[in-house]
Every structure is written in C-alpha cells, then in structure tokens.
A and B are shown apart, each in its own frame.
Chain A
Amino acid sequence: MRADNKTLKFLIFILVFLAVVMAFVFLFVIPSIKEFKHKKAEYYQQLKAQKELSAKEKELQQELQKLQKKYAKSLESYKVPFEEKKFLHVAKRYFQNVKLTQKSVKKTESGLQIYEFTADFSAQTPVKFYQFIEAVNHMKNVVKINFPIKLEARNSNISLTFNMSVYKL
C-alpha cells in the first residue's frame, strides 16, 4: 500500500512538472524566442539595407561629381544673368536695327526657366544671320534660336523676325 502511494505521488509530480514546463515554454519562452528571432532578422535586414543605401549614396555622389565635371561649362552658363543690352550689343555686329521683346517665362521639368523672346533685326545679307547664330553658340548664356523664322525683303535690307529662348537656372 505504501509503495503504491509513492508511485502515485511520483506520477503526480512528474505530471505537475511536465505541466509547469509546458506552460512556461509555450506561454513565455516560445513567444520570446519568436520575437527575438523576428527582431534579429529584421535588424540584419535593415543593416543590409543601410549598407546598400550607403553604397548607393556614395555611387550617386560620385556620379554627381562626374556630371559636374562633364557639364561644368554648360551648368555655369545657366547661372550667368541674361543681359539684353549685352545681347543686343553682340547682335549689332551683324544687324542694323535690333529689337528684342520678352514674351513669357516658363518653367521646365529640368528645373530651368525659359525666357522667351521675339527678335526683330534687319540685315543686308542672310550670311549675317548664319554668323549671328554661330556667335549665339559662343555666348555665355544658353540661347536657342527657334522657328518660325521670317525673312522679308524691305528696300535694300532683309527684315528678320525669329523667336529665341534663353535657359536660366
């Protein structure tokens, strides 16, 4: 009878022990381990992302420096203020009557502003117009001659009307 009691007690304790262990493992240890694993994985993922971002930033900065070198002259020319007086002074070398009328200012996708002008000049020969376009390409500003271009004979001169755009930052 005594031996049976001991066995029963032993079984009860084993069951209690297993119940306690299971309860603590399922309620406390497993969720903690899960959370730990999840956070650890997330941490390494973010660490990897940080490394990638740093590499990307470095790469972009190098590219920016390359572009700054490559387009240094062009980029500088956008910053030069456009002075109508200076422009007309150059135009006077090729044309007699020079008149510039500002039409509008537009903003482009590239972050530049386009100042639109209409030019009314008069010349003795169309050759002067070719020479003027060449001179425009050598100006400090970025100036584009646009269509429509109208040339009309007026007495001994040619009246010339065209649109032009000045690109500025």
Chain B
Amino acid sequence: MRSRSFIQPRKKRLLDRMSSLWLGFIVLVAVGLIVFGILIHYKSSFYIKMLDNLHRQNSSEMKKVKHLQKEVTLMRMQGQLAQEVTKANEVLKESIQNMFDLIPDQITLTKVVMEKKSLYLKGYTDSKNSYTLLLEPPLKSIFTQTKVKFSKDTKGRTVFESYSTIADQVSLEDINESR
C-alpha cells in the first residue's frame, strides 16, 4: 500500500543553505585574493614605469658625469701643463746661466751641446791645468761621469773636448730645480 503525504511537496535545492554559504564564502575569499593580487601587480607596474624613467634619466646623467669628469681631467692637465712649461723654461734658463757661470776666464768655449742628461763642451784653454783645476771640479760635482780629451789646434792652443753625463735617475733640469 502506497503511503501518501498530506504536505505540499517543496522544491529541493541543489545545495543546502550551509553549502551555499560556504561556497559563497570561498568564492568571495578567492575574489578578494585575486583583487589583492591585481592591486599589488598594478602597484608593481607603477614602479616598473617609474624605474624605466629613472633608468633613462640615470643613464643620461651618468653620461653627463663621465663627460664632465673627462673635461675636468683634461682642464687640470692642460692648466698644469702650461705652468710646467713656464717653470721648465725658467729652469732651462738657469741651467744655461749656471753652465756659463762655471766657465773660468782662462777657458774659451767654441761649442756647447746641452742634452737632458749630458753636456758636451769644446773649447780652448791656456793650459791643461786650467781645465783640471778650474772647470773639471765643478763639472764633476754636477755630473756623475766626465771624460775629457786634449789636443792642439793649428795655432798651438790647447783644445779640450769634455763629455759629462748624469746617472739615469736625475737630469740637468732636476739638479737646477733642487737648487
């Protein structure tokens, strides 16, 4: 025998109330997380854009700085060079002056060749002794090595040729500079 109900049949829901609440909650949390992620991503892209600009600005700034550094170095070198040239000329003038001051009255020079580290002198002297006593000592005090050769010219005068050199580390200019 079939049992019958007197109650009106209700529509059966696919999900009960509790399940719907749970699903809604899960979807809501997921959407919230997605929105949060998107927001962070959006902020990151903002920084990426700003970084692009900064990279561009910094690379052009870097070029400027490098150019300026080069300019400063060149300007310093050029400025110092002009001063060094003036000083070198001054030292050279003193070198020549000092060299001529060394020559005593008994000696007449006919040829002088001044190099950075050597001095060649040719001339005549009234006697070998005049050279040995008056010119050789000052030359030996300046140069590390001095060689001399004596001969007689057609007029019977004593001709000397001296070649003096300075050790590699110092030059004529250095000696005058230190004086």
Q: Across the interface, do B44 and A54 meet the contact criterion of CB distance under 8 Å?
A: no
Residue of chain B at shortest CB distance from A160: B112
Q: How far is the CA of A142 from the CA of B97 in the complex (A)?
A: 22
Q: Across the interface, do A60 and B72 meet the contact criterion of CB distance under 8 Å?
A: yes
B68 within 8 A of A: yes
Q: How far is the CA of A145 from the CA of B90 in the complex (A)?
A: 10
A53 within 8 A of B: yes
CB distance from A7 to the nearest CB of B (A): 12
Residue of chain A at shortest CB distance from B25: A17
B-contact bits for A128-160, CB 8 A (1 contact / 0 none): 011001101100001111011111110000000
Residue of chain A at shortest CB distance from B116: A147
A148 in contact with B51 given A67-B79, A71-B79 (CB within 8 Å): no
| Number of A positions contacting B (CB below 8 A) | 65
Q: Across the interface, do A29 and B96 meet the contact criterion of CB distance under 8 Å?
A: no
Interface residues of A in 79-136 (CB under 8 A from B): 109-112, 126, 129-130, 133-134, 136
Contacts of B34 in A (CB 8 A): 24, 28
Q: Across the interface, do A32 and B82 meet the contact criterion of CB distance under 8 Å?
A: no
Contact of A39 among B47, B71, B93, B100 (CB under 8 A): B47
Segment at the interface with A among B53-61, B132-140, B141-149, B156-164? B53-61
